[in-house]
Amino acid sequence: MKTGLAAALLFAPSLAGAAEIELVSKIDRVTVYPDGAVVTRLGKASLLEGVSQIVLRGLPASVDPASIRVEAQGDGAFSIGAVDVRQVPGEARPALDQALEGKIRVLQGEKAKLAGEISAIEAKRATIENFGKVGPDKLSEGGKVLPVSDWPAVFDAIGTALVKVQGELLTLRNRIADLDAEIAALEKARPLAPRAGQPKRDVAIAVEAKAPIAADISVSYRISGASWLPVYEARLTTGNSSGAAEIAFTRRAELRQRTGEDWNEVAVELSTTRSAQGTRAPELNPLRIAFYEPPVVYEERLRARLEAERSAKSQALSAAPAPIAPAPDMVDAAPKPAEVQTASVSAGAYQASFKVPGRVTVPQDGSSKAVVLTQTKVKPELSARATPELEEKAYLEASFNHEDEAPLLAGEVYLHRDGAYIGKGRLGQVAPGDKVELGFGADDRLKVTRVPVRRRENDSGWLGSTRTDQREFKTVVKSLHAQPVKLTVTERVPFSENSTITVELLSQSTPPTEKQVGDKRGVSAWSFELAPGAQKEIRLAYRIKYPGDREVVFDQPRR
């Protein structure tokens, strides 16, 4: 016969004199969430005839008492009553893990170093901008006027330097964001500061049996101090003329826990649900608008309303009939113990879970434990992408559709190309059926060059005239591959949100295949296929017009 309990905690004073049976248990399985875990313990108990209580001792203090659930089965009929959670003194917890704290300090030191580099580059940018504000008549040696023929080279040098500095700042700030995420993940796995004599929890379960019974007891509870992060590995084989490209894609989970109890040889299931977050959208209360009333008027109205309510209440009490005495059989009726309810686990459209194969040991010291979740092989589509304004290189990219039922959560991905480690990237959350796009480093068999063709700028000579700034660039991409290559080149043209500043794309520009890339205004793309040994030329020319009595600046709006 099987019986169990799934109810809120009840405190039963009648258990004080019942015989205690200590439950020796072992952690059997754990469901780990990104922000906590549910632990299930199994144990055996020999129940006595009559009323007794099974005591599970020494659970961590971070156990959520409201989450405790009990299930039981035995070789005879018995019932489960109340569950009593007691707080008892505990032994001093061990000191914080020095390895974990050391890793956090190293990451914080690296972050501080990057912040210093950002300050230095910002100072460099300020110097370049100040240099750009100096008139052409003061740029040459000895303060002589710089020849007009040299002005375009100076302007291009200043613009190129500013673009380079901006790219360096963006790279450093992205790295700091990655460090912040790593530090937050490590700090999340770190428990509260240890305290001597930190209390623990004992769980007492009331049982009643008509005869001695051997019972199997299962106790589950939610606990904090545990988490898991997704980690991916993508190994690309580029193939050749006789074989297609292939990616060996591995999904891993990195477990950490500092719950106060070791997980030795346990069955682990990973869930994508965040159990510590809210369960529904917040409610909006009605918002009333009224005229302002002075406090005296408000108090008088409040006093009158309270007197009216008291008068109505006294009249209702005087008219109410006398209370009816309870029936004798209803007085002091003993509460019946709750019947057993079996818990069920479901996974569907709103969450995903992974059962880790075999059994896993995860110590409580916060050290990382990596487990393999899935391994697949996919046929990607290879292409290259170049942004010649920022860097005269083309980078290999591979894309494929994610066909698994479970989504890919955001996490780090370790990239390999033809057996060589390329680096570490980051994968955003990908839903089933969506496209996965990964970068696999620079493609040295694609040569990219970008040069300014001409720049023509007229200066206003009188008030009210219009100034123009015309620029033209040429990008050439040449393939040294032995097979055709798909390539995308991205360029940008300044855009204006002011009607007095107009930007015109000139006719000598090569028409783009994509006028706007996503939501990036002014960013266009040219996609094409290069045959072996072939080259492609892309021209970009635009003209800016604005009032002659105003100055314009170029900035990158925050997204």
Range 97-190: architecture per CATH: Orthogonal Bundle (1.10)
* Band of pLDDT at residue 14, cut at 50, 70 and 90: very low
pLDDT given for residue 296 in this prediction? 56
Q: What is the DSSP letter of 170?
A: H
Can you spell out the DSSP letters for 320-341?
A: SPPPPPPPGGGTTPPPPPPPP-
* Residue that has been written with the tokens 């209803």 in this structure: 330
> Which residue type occupies 272?
T
- Tell me which of 447 and 346 has the higher pLDDT: 447
In the predicted model, is pLDDT for residue 517 greater than 80?
Answer: yes
> Which residue type occupies 82?
A
- Asked which of 42-51, 160-169, 307-316, 482-491 is least confident by mean pLDDT, the reply is 307-316
pLDDT given for residue 433 in this prediction? 87
User: What is the radius of gyration, based on Cα positions, of the chain?
Assistant: 36
- Tell me which of 243 and 453 has the higher pLDDT: 453
* Band of pLDDT at residue 286, cut at 50, 70 and 90: confident
In the predicted model, is pLDDT for residue 451 greater than 80?
Answer: yes
Contacts 24+ apart (CB under 8 A), 320-326: none
pLDDT given for residue 183 in this prediction? 86
Q: Average of pLDDT values for 469-486?
A: 93
In the predicted model, is pLDDT for residue 490 greater than 90?
Answer: yes
**Each residue of 393-440: pLDDT tens digit?**
999 999 999 888 788 888 899 999 999 999 999 988 888 889 999 999
- Asked which of 106-120, 185-199, 223-237, 439-453 is least confident by mean pLDDT, the reply is 185-199
* Band of pLDDT at residue 143, cut at 50, 70 and 90: low
CA 116 centroid distance within chain: 27
Per the structure block, which two tokens stand in for 285? 């209360």
Which class for 14: exposed (0-12), middle (13-18), buried (19 or more C-beta within 10 A)?
exposed
pLDDT given for residue 104 in this prediction? 85
> In degrees rounded to 5, what are phi and psi of residue 405?
-75, -30
Q: With CA atoms as reference, report the closest residue to 171 among 423, 416, 382.
A: 423
Q: With CA atoms as reference, report the closest residue to 272 among 436, 36, 68, 27.
A: 36
Per the CB < 8 A criterion, the answer to whether 216 and 205 are in contact is no
- Tell me which of 321 and 283 has the higher pLDDT: 283
* Band of pLDDT at residue 329, cut at 50, 70 and 90: very low
Angle, helix 98-132 to helix 151-189, in steps of 10 degrees: 160
Strand partners, 53: 20, 206
Rounded distance, CA 71 to CA 6, Å? 8
Per the CB < 8 A criterion, the answer to whether 410 and 229 are in contact is no
In the predicted model, is pLDDT for residue 323 greater than 50?
Answer: no
In the predicted model, is pLDDT for residue 537 greater than 60?
Answer: yes
pLDDT given for residue 118 in this prediction? 87
Per the CB < 8 A criterion, the answer to whether 474 and 453 are in contact is yes
pLDDT given for residue 381 in this prediction? 92
Q: Average of pLDDT values for 501-515?
A: 92
Which class for 104: exposed (0-12), middle (13-18), buried (19 or more C-beta within 10 A)?
middle
**Each residue of 70-106: pLDDT tens digit?**
888 888 888 888 888 888 876 655 556 677 788 888 8
Rounded distance, CA 21 to CA 513, Å? 77
Per the structure block, which two tokens stand in for 78? 């018995």
Rounded distance, CA 369 to CA 254, Å? 6
pLDDT given for residue 413 in this prediction? 93
In the predicted model, is pLDDT for residue 132 greater than 70?
Answer: no
- Asked which of 277-286, 292-301, 472-481 is least confident by mean pLDDT, the reply is 292-301
> Which residue type occupies 254?
E
Rounded distance, CA 374 to CA 372, Å? 6
Q: With CA atoms as reference, report the closest residue to 44 among 86, 7, 79, 72.
A: 72
> Which residue type occupies 202?
D
In the predicted model, is pLDDT for residue 236 greater than 90?
Answer: yes
* Band of pLDDT at residue 62, cut at 50, 70 and 90: confident
Q: What percent of the chain has pLDDT over 90?
A: 26
Per the CB < 8 A criterion, the answer to whether 108 and 183 are in contact is yes
Rounded distance, CA 451 to CA 474, Å? 5
Per the CB < 8 A criterion, the answer to whether 217 and 40 are in contact is no
Domain ranges of the chain: 2-95+195-224, 97-190, 229-258+366-442, 446-559
- Asked which of 88-92, 267-271, 364-368 is least confident by mean pLDDT, the reply is 88-92
Q: Average of pLDDT values for 490-509?
A: 90
The total number of residues shown for the chain amounts to 559
Per the structure block, which two tokens stand in for 141? 């040696």
Say which CATH topology domain 2-95+195-224 has.
Immunoglobulin-like (2.60.40)
* Band of pLDDT at residue 313, cut at 50, 70 and 90: low
pLDDT given for residue 508 in this prediction? 93
Contacts 24+ apart (CB under 8 A), 125-132: 125/162, 125/165, 125/166, 125/169, 128/158, 128/161, 128/162, 128/165, 129/162, 131/158, 132/158, 132/162
Per the CB < 8 A criterion, the answer to whether 225 and 62 are in contact is yes
Per the CB < 8 A criterion, the answer to whether 72 and 214 are in contact is no
pLDDT given for residue 289 in this prediction? 62
In the predicted model, is pLDDT for residue 376 greater than 80?
Answer: yes
- Tell me which of 298 and 315 has the higher pLDDT: 315
